[in-house]
Amino acid sequence: MILLYHNICEEPLRGAVFGTGLPVSHFKQQLAWLKRHRRIVRLQDYLKHTAHGTQAAGNLVAITFDDGLATTFQRAHPQLKRYEVPATFFVSTAHLNGGDLLWFSYLEALCFDRSYQEIEVRGNKLSLSSNSLRKFARNYLVNKARESGNPQAFSEELSYVYSLSASSLAEFTGMSSEQLGLGNSSELIEWGAHTVNHPLLDLLSPQEQKEEILRGKQQLEEISGKSVRYFAYPNGDYNHDTLDLMESAGFEAAFATHQRRVSLKPRYEITRIGIYSTSFFKFWLKVQGLVEPDFGLRIRQRLKPRKPQTIPVLNSG
């Protein structure tokens, strides 16, 4: 299977990375377990041995990261070197080298960095006084960003009113050219494309999608100096137009968070398993293949005629 990580954060878990943040100690624990119990391979080798994910993977595992946050690379790279684990980083280019935060990063930071007890969004007041309310506010804002049709503009409008603390800006900024160069010098690291602005691709016109996808690939190749062969769909969103662009852009494979099955070319709809929870039990369930990738933490029913058993459904995460 292919594992998907986003934010690797400091100890203790920062509120600003509540949604997808995984403390580095948990990441180290997971890598150590994978080294003992699985064979961790480069993404290209995983695709080769599983016919682009259409055949059984056996004990093979590939590791990927999305977005290209500087702090995630800073914290993950030493552990990858320590355990000699290869990984592919899918990088959006707009926030590299001190660029503006990606739209969802801004919303995450706004809700969880605790600079504000309450915010007002187009006449609606949202309390940020507890973790549960901050999580509700973040989900509400993400939905409103999607409904707006232009999440980047939606977040920029909010940023004019609600600025972020220096610590939040540092936590969510994109990678630097120096970090990309460090990855270039390592045989363990490969870069993958993730558009420019991390948009909701299924909301864009074919031409807008083309610009995001091709420009993101070109910019990443120019900055890193390496050819980019793989693509990950931002937010897991794509449609027929997106898949057509994957082939015309020359990508060898593309990766989703859930498979929409809108194409007869499975190499452009390869699913990954998101690792977000600090619970080692949930991690273990996922790497055992007991979780359906299309439905969060819904446990896969396995028929055992002699010893039937009921496995409880866990909350998503």
- DSSP string spanning 34-75? HHHHSEE--HHHHHHHTTTTTS--TTEEEEEEEE-BHHHHHH
For residue range 185-213, what is the model confidence (pLDDT) as tens digits?
Answer: 888 999 999 999 999 999 999 999 999 99
Q: Where are the domains of the chain?
A: 2-99+173-295, 103-170
Q: What's residue 228's pLDDT? A: 95
Q: What's residue 264's pLDDT? A: 66
Buried b (16+ CB within 10 A) or exposed e, 52-90: bbeeebeebbbbbbbbbbbbbbebbbebbeeeebbbbbb
Buried b (16+ CB within 10 A) or exposed e, 245-276: bbeebebbbbbbbbbbeebeeebbbbbbbbbb
Residue corresponding to tokens 């990309």: 180
Helix/strand/coil for 124: strand
Q: Which CATH class name applies to 2-99+173-295?
A: alpha beta
In 3D, which of 250, 232, 246 has the Cα closest to residue 91? 232
Q: What's residue 17's pLDDT? A: 46
Q: What's residue 219's pLDDT? A: 94
3-state secondary structure 221-279: HHHHCCCCCEEECHHHCCCHHHHHHHHHCCCCEEEECCCCCCCCCHHHCEECEECCCCC
Q: Which residues contact 19 (CB under 8 A, 6 or more apart)?
A: 108, 112, 135, 138, 276
Residue 22 burial (10 A CB sphere; 0-12, 13-18, 19+): buried
For residue range 12-36, what is the model confidence (pLDDT) as tens digits?
Answer: 655 444 557 789 999 999 999 999 9
For residue range 100-132, what is the model confidence (pLDDT) as tens digits?
Answer: 999 999 999 999 888 899 999 988 999 999 888
For residue range 80-96, what is the model confidence (pLDDT) as tens digits?
Answer: 999 999 999 999 999 99
Q: What's residue 294's pLDDT? A: 46
For residue range 249-299, what is the model confidence (pLDDT) as tens digits?
Answer: 999 999 988 766 776 688 999 999 999 888 899 999 999 887 765 444 333
Contact between residue 273 and residue 286 where contact means Cβ atoms under 8 Å apart: yes
Is 80 exceeded by the pLDDT of residue 304?
no
Residues 231 and 228: their CA atoms lie apart, in Å, by: 8
List the beta bridge partners of residue 271: 256
What six digits make up the tokens of 97?
């080298």
Report DSSP letters for 128-157, one per residue: -SSHHHHHHHHHHHHHHHHHHS-HHHHHHH
Question: Residue 293 phi/psi, 5° resolution?
Answer: -60, -25
Q: What is the mean pLDDT of residues 143-161?
A: 93
What six digits make up the tokens of 147?
């409904």
List the beta bridge partners of residue 4: 64, 274
**% of the chain beyond a pLDDT of 90:** 62
